[in-house]
Structure 1
Amino acid sequence: MTEAKSTSRAHLSVLDFCTIYEGETETASIEHSVQLAQRAEELGYSRIWYTEHHNMPSISSSSPAVLIAHIGAKTNSIRLGAGGIMLPNHSPYVIAEQFGTLEEMYPDRIDLGLGRAPGTDAQTLGRALRRDFNAAERFPGDVRELEAYLADNSPIPGVQAVPGAGTNVPLYILGSSMFGASLAAKYGMPYAFASHFAPTHLEQATQYYRENFQPSATLDKPYVIAGVNVTGANTKEEADALYEKVCFNRIKTMVGRGRMLTDNQVEQLIGSAQGQQILDMLRYSAVGTETEIREYLTDFQEISGADELMISVQATSRETTLTGLDVLARAWELDPAIVAGRPGGN
């Protein structure tokens, strides 16, 4: 029997890449992330997650645990987490210690999303991170090992994660393919699909997860988080113009990595097969004012069957990012007093 899709309005959360906007410093991007978290908390968003990326000049979130520690001290109630930790890059034991420490610092506010992708290029992966290229094959076992450390059920006699043991930090499986859906269903964990940049298998993966979910000690029914992009502004014309710049910058960044492209070169790339492939990564994007965004996200929730929408605000500056967050909160009629109902929340 097919598991029924969510019918109530999904919770809204925020995915922060800690973007370094053109002309900004890493320090400025981190300051912006603090402001973003504080504003999300004020508006009633459920949680904010930070990504793990390496060797990317436009992203400063290479160390989610450090960011969470800093931003936790600047906020009061919003849940904070990694979306996610690329577990094959790390020892499960070290991650248990890091996130166990965060849980002790900020009780009942910490989440841990787990992915198996590298979050970087091959050169950085093999030489700088010194990661085994086959490490991703150990991902299912690493998840179980991490879970055991956090539950004070160490797989190694005499070895305990301190802090970490007994904290039971909530774990989430991240994915953009059937692999993650299958693993989350088998392990009885919440599943977050990365449809904000990998839209192809969204419906297939979330449906499989719901139909094959096996209840666990931590979760009795499936819980789906789906990523979606939002570009919001006070007028439709402003939103459309902003989204056009977002698309332009996306192609410029992804194609021109490590080299400078002229605006004319980028314009030519937009119409190419490569350019269109990059733009298709933004397939699930709500663009407009409160009305357009509300309508789009309502339809997207139905398509994805999501219990929670993880929002990637697409903008070009601090100001337009915060505006987009405000427009979205009004569109979804967020209430700061109502943030219950998601795994790990109270």
Structure 2
Amino acid sequence: MKEKKPQNLDTIKFSVLDLVPVAKGASHLQAIQNSLALAQHAERLGFERFWISEHHNMDTLVSSATPILIGHIAQGTKSIKVGSGGIMLPNHAPLIVAEQFGTLATLYPGRIDLGLGRAPGTDQLTAKALRRDRIETVHDFPRDIEALQQYFSIENSRAPVRAIPGEGSDIPLYLLGSSTFSAQLAGKKGLPYAFASHFAPAQLHQALGLYHQNFEPSPQCNKPYTIACVNIIAADTDEEARYIETSLQQLALGIIRNTRKPLPPPLDNMDELWDEREKAQIQQMMYYSFVGNKETIERELSAFVAATQVNEIMVVSHIFDHEERLKSYEIVSSLQKG
């Protein structure tokens, strides 16, 4: 049996996760325009895919109408894969998702990904407003995935309920998770698995292990495929990158304090803003954050890939200044070019 070659920065793929953040002083339209500019930039740099995540009722993010934004990004780019990271399936009827993504795949064939999550992507009150009288249980997520797969299948052409367009679409599904539940489910279904280690690092290694242990080949995947989402902030120097990182730290502090506001500019001293307990909590939450110059990022990210053996790194970068954000992705792209 041929021994599997270990993964390293030269063999893995790099992709982008965009939450369409609103920077302080910017409009919602500017946030969307910046998202498209970032996607075009990522395409030129050779990134594999560009995903947008579904969030609701947040002043800080404008990614609520996720399929519309995916269509906007796909229309403004030429080759990069575009998709959801993810669609929060409990918020939607599987038929609606199948129709929306079937339409996207019809318009942009071979370029649309469908990442699926089971979290609400919002607070419980907003989740109730989205779902109305629909009550989700732990058993509904696997059933909803099966329903989606059925709607996308050509065999559904004789069914009384059909997804048009969508039926017969070759849309790859990805399961997203921040715990072990989706890892085991993705393995059993033979689907690629993406872990949200950018904000929920605790169970990363356990989830990856369970995914591999439970993996069964499927028509979509004949072998396991894993993605780890991490925070990366790259700049010319470590000091500059750490300064830029304070925008992300302030954003995380707003989550802890439930005082969420648009992405703030960097500041000189976070110790004037947080206490020791909050600092420790944010450092734990953002454990898989890679901050520094090219050499620092390369060293730390190489160790991460060696430890996890993931197939793909999905980069999220909460950076206040748009040009500095673009530059950070340039530095990341250079890691595969020596």
Conserved? CA contact 2:17–2:52, under 8 Å: yes
> Which residue of structure 2 lines up, in the alignment, with residue 140 of structure 1?
142
For structure 2, the 5+ residue unaligned runs are: none
1:322 corresponds to 2:326: yes
Conserved? CA contact 1:15–1:49, under 8 Å: yes
> Which residue of structure 2 lines up, in the alignment, with residue 164 of structure 1?
166
Mapping 1:167-186, distance limit 5 Å: 167-186=169-188
CA distances 1:144-175 after superposition (whole Å, capped 9, x unpaired): 11011111333983221110000121000101
Residue 49 of structure 1: how far off its partner (Å) = 0.2
> Which residue of structure 1 lines up, in the alignment, with residue 156 of structure 2?
154
TM-score (norm 1): 0.89
Match for 1:217 among 194, 219, 229? 219
CA distance in 1, matches of 2:230, 2:42: 16
CA distances 1:25-55 after superposition (whole Å, capped 9, x unpaired): 1100000000000000000000010000000
Residue 246 of structure 1: how far off its partner (Å) = 2.3
CA distance in 2, matches of 1:259, 1:39: 27
CA distances 1:259-312 after superposition (whole Å, capped 9, x unpaired): 899x9xx85663343442233211001111111111111111122220001111
Match for 1:71 among 67, 70, 73? 73
> Which residue of structure 1 lines up, in the alignment, with residue 64 of structure 2?
62
Conserved? CA contact 1:48–1:81, under 8 Å: yes
> Which residue of structure 1 lines up, in the alignment, with residue 93 of structure 2?
91
Residue 314 of structure 1: how far off its partner (Å) = 2.9
Residue 191 of structure 1: how far off its partner (Å) = 0.5
CA distance in 1, matches of 2:274, 2:148: 43
The letter for the 2-side match of 1:71 is I
Residue 131 of structure 1: how far off its partner (Å) = 5.8
Instruction: Give the aligned CA root-mean-square deviation in angstroms.
Output: 2.5
CA distance in 2, matches of 1:292, 1:259: 30
Residue 256 of structure 1: how far off its partner (Å) = 4.1
> Which residue of structure 2 lines up, in the alignment, with residue 26 of structure 1?
28
Deviates more, 1:286-295 or 1:243-252: 243-252
For structure 1, the 5+ residue unaligned runs are: 335-346
Compared CA separation, residues 188 and 24, structure 1 to 2 (3 A): same
Residue 331 of structure 1: how far off its partner (Å) = 2.5
> Which residue of structure 1 lines up, in the alignment, with residue 253 of structure 2?
251
CA distance in 1, matches of 2:277, 2:201: 17
CA distance in 1, matches of 2:257, 2:156: 45
> Which residue of structure 2 lines up, in the alignment, with residue 271 of structure 1?
275
CA distance in 1, matches of 2:24, 2:245: 16
1:196 corresponds to 2:198: yes
Deviates more, 1:209-218 or 1:271-280: 271-280
Match for 1:207 among 190, 206, 209? 209
> Which residue of structure 2 lines up, in the alignment, with residue 299 of structure 1?
303
Identity of aligned residues (%): 41
Conserved? CA contact 2:215–2:224, under 8 Å: yes
TM-score (norm 2): 0.91
CA distance in 1, matches of 2:133, 2:70: 24
CA distance in 2, matches of 1:303, 1:197: 18
CA distance in 2, matches of 1:201, 1:61: 26
Secondary structure at 2:114 match in 1 = strand
> Which residue of structure 1 lines up, in the alignment, with residue 234 of structure 2?
232
